[in-house]
Structure 1
Amino acid sequence: MDLGLEGRRALVTGGSRGIGFATALALSKEGVECTICARTEESLNTAAAKISDATGGVVRTLVADLSHPEQVSEAVTEAAGLMGGLDILVNNAARVSGGIPEGFADVTAERMLVDFEEKLVGYVAATQTAAPLMAEGGWGRVISMAGLSARMGGNISAGVRNGAVSIFSKAAADSLGPSGITVNVIHPGLTRTERMEEILGLASGDTSIADAISENIPTRRLVRPEEIANMVTFLASDLAGSITGESIAIAGGLGDGIVY
């Protein structure tokens, strides 16, 4: 199946590990020139080498801390300069949140502001900077990682920030559609990234916590990063040109909500 991605140019934020790394790898396999962005040069160089070795593709790196919104626009502009343009933006750089239940009385303004600045504000800045670059070619894809807490109670600040990503993305999709740009959101469930392995104790060989959590997931396992990456790659393709303004959960059936 030809996804029509050969020669496209993508920026994947948070691309040195986890979902971001898997996404850059999947895109590179389809012939996409990728720039990956993260905070540490060493991890970026390691990730870029792995992807390039596996695919033979061109993988560029950018060091930036995208928890600081003022650096986001600069990173997008620089990535476009490195690649000669930008077709695909994957917003993925944000701290893992939402795993620990947060009671109503425990929510603080400080926590909510940090959650919003680290994810929503950065995603908005990246999308606003990328959109004119994509519009020049009459084609573009923006795919943002939010989180299943947008559809579940428990962690209020994380749920609010992830829900806000969906709302912003729908508004962006409506605005940018006439320019040939689609905008979609993915809500990953519990995904077996390196960071999640550390949180759940899997990195040390202890599977007890992950096993207990998996009992509450219909598929009885954590999501694999490559499963998220496969959806990103499809949404970035010509085959998904009529899918825009959507929020798609990849969570093994976790969650009680029914979304029409």
Structure 2
Amino acid sequence: MQADTADDDSVRAMASTVVAELGGVDVLVNSAARPASLIPQRGLDELTDDDVRIELETKLLGYLRCARALAPSMVANGWGRIVNVSGLNARQSVSIPGSVRNIAVAAMSAALADELGPKGVNVSVVHPGMTVTRGTEELIASRAEAQGIDEATMRARAESGTRIGRLATAAEVADVIVFLCSPRSVAIAGDAIAAGGGARGVTHY
């Protein structure tokens, strides 16, 4: 479902159709957002309400609408998993829109976990860092150009920022999500799991 561009009624209608066709839903993985590279990088004097509103509408409210529409089916079955894909910008002051949208998702997830956990539905958050996808090379190229360095240097900087010495792949992030969607993840509820290859810097606990 593309809840990032749909209103609440549309999401509920789509969810109803899915539940009817499948007989219920066990797992919801929310993953919708503009790439961080496309978020306007503006100073406070140029930052607009829409710069922030668009990110919250897409990510926070999109995720909330899907959870609200599908959680009742999970509660009725007494089991479910909701995994919200956020991002490591929740732990960095890169930009107001980029950081706020991810922090908001983490806070919402914890609140949902409080409510749904006792009913058998665990909610968790995954914070990927820069990840190897089809758009990674384009992102590295744009950042290199913006900083006036070559792409090899930009790539090396990105890789040196991880404890594993390289960027995690989309498949490796997906492995973390698959575990969180499984019955074996019952001990994780409302928590945020970083999946960025071990971002260097501040220790989070």
Q: Sort the TM-score into its range (normalised by shorter chain).
A: 0.7 to 0.9
Q: Which residue does 2:5 correspond to in 1?
A: 67
Distance 1:232 1:65 in 2: 20
Partner of residue 182, structure 1: 122
Match of 1:76 among 12, 15, 20: 15
**What's the secondary structure of 2:77's corresponding residue?**
coil
Match of 1:42 in 2: none
- The DSSP-based 3-state class of the residue aligned with 2:34 is coil
Q: CA deviation at 1:118?
A: 0.7
Deviation at 1:201, TM superposition (A): 4.0
- 2:57 is matched with 117
| Residue matched to 1:236 | 181
Deviations 1:24-54 (A, max 9, x none): xxxxxxxxxxxxx4xxxxxxxxxxxxxxxxx
- Structure-2 change in CA distance of 1:99 and 1:211 (3 Å): farther
The Cα RMSD (Å) is 2.2
Structure 1 residues 87 and 249: alpha-carbon distance in aligned structure 2, compared to 1, 3 A threshold: same
Q: CA deviation at 1:181?
A: 0.3
Q: 1:169 aligns with which of 109, 115, 133?
A: 109
Asked if 1:246 is matched to 2:191, the reply is yes
For the 8 Å contact 1:107–1:157, the answer to whether it is kept is no
The answer to whether the Cα contact below 8 Å between 1:188 and 1:250 also exists between their aligned partners in 2 is yes
Distance 1:66 1:161 in 2: 13
Show the counterpart of 1:5: none
Conserved in 2, the CA contact under 8 Å of 1:143 and 1:186? yes
Deviations 1:147-181 (A, max 9, x none): 11101112111110100000000000000112100
Deviation at 1:113, TM superposition (A): 0.3
1:135 to 75, 78, 95: 75
Q: Does 1:95 align with 2:23?
A: no
Q: Flag structure 2 segments of 5+ consecutive residues without an equivalent.
A: 143-150
Closer/same/farther in 2, CA of residues 146 and 162 from structure 1, 3 Å limit: same
8 Å CA contact 1:98, 1:158 repeated in 2: no
Q: Secondary structure at the match of 1:258?
A: coil
Per the normalisation by structure 1, the TM-score is 0.68
Alignment of 1:191-210 (within 5 A): 191-201=131-141, 207-210=152-155
> Do the aligned partners of 1:151 and 1:255 also contact (CA within 8 Å) in 2?
no
The amino acid of 1:68's aligned partner reads A
Q: For 2:97 and 2:129, how far apart are their aligned partners in 1?
A: 17
Identity rate, percent: 34
Aligned partners of 1:99 and 1:155 also within 8 Å: no
Q: Which of 144, 147, 161 is residue 216 of structure 1 equivalent to?
A: 161
- The structural deviation recorded for 1:221 is 1.4
Structure 2 length as normaliser, TM-score? 0.85
Once the two structures are TM-superposed, the CA of residue 207 in structure 1 deviates from its matched residue by 4.8
Amino acid at match of 1:195: G
Secondary structure of the residue aligned to 1:243 is coil
Q: What is the CA-CA distance between 1:219 and the residue it aligns to?
A: 2.1
Q: Indicate the SS of the match to 1:93.
A: coil
Structure 1 residues 237 and 207, CA gap change in structure 2 (3 angstroms): same
Moved over 6 A (4+): none
**After superposition, where does 1:2-81 map in structure 2 within 5 Å?**
37=1, 64=2, 66-70=4-8, 71-81=10-20
Segments of 5+ residues of structure 1 without an aligned counterpart are 1-36, 38-63
Q: State how far apart, in whole Å, the 2-side matches of 1:138 and 1:115 are.
A: 32
